[in-house]
Amino acid sequence: MAKADKASKADKAGEAEVPGQYGDVVSRLEETVGRLESGNLSLEDSLKAFEEGIRLVRRGEKLLTEAEQRIEQLLQDEDGNDVVAPLSVAARPPAQAAAPRAPAPRPPPEDDVPF
């Protein structure tokens, strides 16, 4: 049983704490991917790095989801008053309604050659 305790402590010591800030998560994930892509890791170290990468991806997704839930859009009602409304990720206004598109440029006529 003492061996199991030592192995458990060694595994926990080998696992670094997952960062709390999104930028730190991304930086550490990039480092982990770099180590994996180098091809210099043993199979066991590669598996540990992969597991760390999965933990970092999940943490990053969680941080992004939490941020999306806190974001609010500032809108105006019919009277021009500012109204705060929660961000709706699923129902975004179409991009075409925001600004009209310019007509696509036409190619010059074939007989209009500059040379």
CATH number at residue 17: 1.10.287
Which of 112, 110, 22 shows the shortest CA–CA distance to 68? 22
Mean pLDDT over residues 19-46, rounded?
A: 95
Range of the domain at 14: 10-70
Instruction: Decide if 83 contacts 69 (C-beta within 8 A).
Output: no
Residue 49 lies in a domain: yes
Q: Which two tokens stand for residue 17?
A: 């704490």
Domain count, the chain: 1
Which of 70, 67, 55 shows the shortest CA–CA distance to 18? 55
Q: Considering the chain, what percentage of its residues have pLDDT values greater than 70?
A: 51
Q: Which two tokens stand for residue 55?
A: 């933990």
pLDDT of residue 10: 39
What's the predicted TM-score (pTM) here? 0.51
pLDDT in tens, 55-99: 999 999 999 988 877 765 455 566 767 666 666 655 555 444 445
pLDDT surpasses 50 at 11: no
Residue 76 lies in a domain: no
pLDDT of residue 85: 65
Give the pLDDT band (50/70/90) at residue 4: very low
Residue 42 lies in a domain: yes
Which has the higher per-residue pLDDT, 42 or 102? 42
